């Protein structure tokens, strides 16, 4: 037993091989770090672009308007980010320091501890913070001399504000990327729009891969009639033009961000289902699955604990491409006006303001959101290609 725990004898695992292959190309690493940067921006958006100051002195008292204006939405984003960071870093730490038999339980407990610490911290900070201020325009308060020492964030504008003084201005010193048709700062809206785009990508693909994995697993495991019926369903889903189906559903149901995520998820699961089905066909007859069946394990354990980890690789690649696709579809929907409602910033919706109602072409309203969509989609696509090559070069043809 002692020999097993000696790290030298662990050898190179499959994921380490994939990582070696993946990191051998610097383009992949650039893409990865770009996405990490985007995620950081998305998580800390209120701290980068906000019209509320971090600190302000009013009548000799110190206030923290930004901290007290954070919403439940912001906190849930923070919690999700903490969970994600915990999973990535603690898993690597655990791989080095915890022996393999204890890892899953340890990780679960570590995440719970981190989240509890975070919740305790924010509740104590929120209760210790001084009373909330009911001001909306801190800049005019500062100018009028009622307050002193206001410290603003890097981009001191809010995304939902209407400033009639600065309608459709090209980039300047005050507004680095210009202002849009209601006078909001473009850079600020871009930063807050990162959240929408990234979360649409993740949630939509999460939904589609859950459906796809579930349907594909059942089709591949049982085969026969179930497989035949399932494949007809997949065929139907594939022959409906996805974009038409999506805008049909958008036409009939109330428009909200979650509905859009759900719709994109529901209409794009066929690829995942087909990959999982093909993998499960191969795995079904292998010894470890047969022994799991003969041990009388429950179906969900056979399907998802024993078979799925061995057949997930092509789906991971498909997921990366799917995120790019979902971000693209969301921005196309928002561009056409079927996306989230206007004060909520979305890249596609910003893009649609690029041609003003009088037919004028406002280049800064077109280039910057467009570049944001383009870079994000390109990064995900490059990442997908890199993953595909790293996971299995034979897949090159399949996708």
Partner 1 sequence: MAGYLIRRILLMIPTLLGITVMVFAISRAAPGDPVSLSMGPGGQMDAQRAADVRKVRMALYGLDKPVHIQYLNWLKRTARLDFGDSIKHHRPVIDLVKERLPITLVLNLISLVAVYLISIPLGIFTAVRQGKFFDRASSVVLFMLWSLPSMWAGQMLIGYFCGPTFKNWFPPAGLSSNFADSLPFFPWLGDRLWHLVLPVICLSYAELAYLTKQVRAGMLDNLRADYVRTARAKGLDNLTVVFRHAFRNSVIPIITIMATLLPAMIGGSVIIESIFSIPGMGRLAFEAITTRDYNIVMAVATIAGFLNLAGLLFADIAYVIADPRITFESIE
What is the DSSP track for 103-122?
Answer: HHHHHHHHHHHHHHHHHHHH
**Shortest approach of partner 1 to residue 285 CB, angstroms?**
24
> Does 243 interact with partner 1 (rule: CB under 8 A)?
yes
Among 47, 367, 389, 392, binds partner 1 (CB under 8 A): 367
Stretch that binds partner 1, among 69-77, 101-109, 242-250, 278-286 (CB under 8 A): 242-250
DSSP for 288-346 reads HHHHHHHTT--HHIIIIIIIHHHH-HHHHHHHHHHHHHHHHHHHHHHHHT-SS-TTS--
Site string for partner 1, 321-340 (x = CB under 8 A): ---x---x--xx--xxxx--
The verdict on 101 binding partner 1 (CB under 8 A) reads no
146 in contact with partner 1 (CB under 8 A): no
Distance CA 337, CA 348 (A): 9
Using alpha carbons, list the distances in angstroms from residue 17 to 23, 316, 320, 390: 10, 16, 19, 8
How many helices and strands (H and E) does the chain possess? Answer: 19, 3
As a whole number of Å, the CA-based R_g of the chain is: 25
Among 35, 190, 351, 383, binds partner 1 (CB under 8 A): 351
Q: Is 213 in the site for partner 1 (CB under 8 A)?
A: no
**Residues 38-77 vs partner 1: string with x where CB under 8 A?**
----------------------------------------
Chain position carrying tokens 């004028």: 360
Closest to 74 in 3D by CA, of 105, 50, 96, 55: 50
Q: Which residues contact 78 (CB under 8 A, 6 or more apart)?
A: 43, 118
Q: Tell which one of 241, 309, 343, 393 touches partner 1 (CB under 8 A).
A: 241
Nearer to partner 1, 199 or 352 (CB): 352
Whose structure tokens read 């056979």?
A: 302
In whole angstroms, how far apart are CA 261 and each of 55, 159, 239, 330, 361? 36, 22, 21, 8, 31
Write down the least CB distance from residue 308 to partner 1, Å. 27
Among residues 107, 182, 247, 316, the one that binds partner 1 under rule CB under 8 A: 247
Does 26 sit near partner 1 (CB under 8 A)? no
Nearer to partner 1 by C-beta: 69 or 381? Answer: 381
Whose structure tokens read 């006006």?
A: 337
Q: Please state, in angstroms and rounded to a whole number, the distance separating the CA atoms of residues 284 and 302.
A: 10
Buried b (16+ CB within 10 A) or exposed e, 224-246: eeebeebeeebeebeeeebeeeb
61-63 vs 147-151, strand pairing mode: unpaired
13 vs 248 by CB, closer to partner 1 = 248
CA 383 – CA 118 distance, rounded (Å): 32
Does residue 348 belong to the site contacting partner 1 (CB under 8 A)?
yes
Of residues 271-330, which lie at the interface with partner 1 (CB under 8 A)?
324, 328
248 binds partner 1 (CB under 8 A): yes
**Beta carbon of residue 118, minimum distance to partner 1 (angstroms, whole number):** 36
Q: Where in 370-399 is the site for partner 1 (CB under 8 A)?
A: 370, 373-374, 377-378, 381-382, 396-397
Among 170, 235, 291, 304, binds partner 1 (CB under 8 A): 235
CB of 262 to partner 1, least distance (A): 13
Among 19, 253, 288, 304, binds partner 1 (CB under 8 A): 253
228 near partner 1, rule: CB under 8 A: no
- Does 242 bind partner 1 (CB under 8 A)? Our answer is yes
Rounded to a whole number of angstroms, the minimum distance from the CB of residue 140 to partner 1 is: 35
Considering only 102, 236, 299, 341, the residue that binds partner 1 (CB under 8 A) is: 236
Please give the order of strands across the beta sheet that includes 55-58. Answer: 61-63, 55-58, 147-151
What is the nearest approach in angstroms of partner 1 to the Cβ of residue 180?
14
Applying CB under 8 A, which residues contact partner 1? 232-233, 235-236, 239-245, 247-254, 324, 328, 331-332, 335-338, 348, 351-352, 354-355, 360-361, 363, 366-367, 369-370, 373-374, 377-378, 381-382, 396-397
């Amino acid at each position: 037993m002692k020999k097993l725990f000696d790290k030298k004898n662990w050898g190179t695992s499959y994921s380490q091989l994939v990582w070696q292959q993946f990191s051998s190309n610097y383009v992949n690493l650039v893409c990865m770090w770009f996405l990490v940067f985007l995620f950081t921006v998305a998580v800390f958006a209120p701290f980068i672009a906000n019209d509320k100051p971090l600190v302000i002195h009013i009548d000799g008292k110190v206030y923290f308007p930004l901290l007290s204006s954070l919403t439940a939405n912001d906190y849930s984003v923070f919690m999700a980010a903490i969970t994600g960071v915990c999973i990535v870093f603690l898993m690597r730490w655990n791989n080095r320091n915890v022996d393999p038999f204890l890892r899953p339980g340890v990780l679960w407990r570590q995440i719970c501890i981190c989240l509890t610490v975070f919740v305790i911290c924010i509740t104590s900070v929120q209760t210790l913070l001084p009373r909330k201020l009911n001001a909306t325009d801190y800049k005019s308060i500062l100018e009028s001399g009622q307050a002193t020492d206001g410290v603003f964030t890097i981009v001191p504008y809010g995304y939902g504000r209407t400033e009639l003084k600065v309608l459709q201005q090209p980039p300047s010193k005050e507004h680095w990327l210009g202002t849009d048709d209601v006078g909001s700062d473009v850079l600020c809206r871009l930063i807050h729009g990162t959240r929408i785009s990234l979360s649409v990508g993740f949630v939509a693909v999460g939904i589609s891969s859950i459906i796809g994995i579930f349907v594909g697993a059942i089709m591949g495991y049982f085969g026969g009639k179930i497989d035949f019926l399932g494949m007809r369903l997949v065929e139907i889903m594939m022959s409906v033009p996805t974009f038409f189906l999506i805008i049909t559903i958008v036409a009939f149901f109330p428009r909200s961000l979650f509905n859009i995520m759900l719709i994109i998820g529901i209409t794009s699961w066929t690829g995942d289902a087909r990959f999982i089905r093909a993998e499960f066909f191969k795995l079904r007859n292998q010894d470890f699955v047969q022994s799991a069946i003969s041990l009388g394990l429950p179906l969900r354990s056979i399907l998802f604990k024993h078979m799925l980890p061995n057949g997930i690789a092509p789906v991971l690649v498909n997921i990366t491409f799917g995120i790019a696709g979902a971000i693209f579809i969301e921005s196309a929907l928002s561009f056409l006006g079927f996306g989230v409602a206007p004060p909520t910033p979305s890249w596609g919706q910003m893009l649609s303001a690029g041609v003003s109602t009088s037919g004028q072409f406002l280049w800064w309203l077109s280039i910057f959101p467009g570049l944001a969509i383009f870079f994000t989609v390109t990064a995900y696509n490059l990442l997908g290609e890199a993953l595909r090559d790293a996971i299995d070069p034979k897949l090159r043809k399949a996708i």
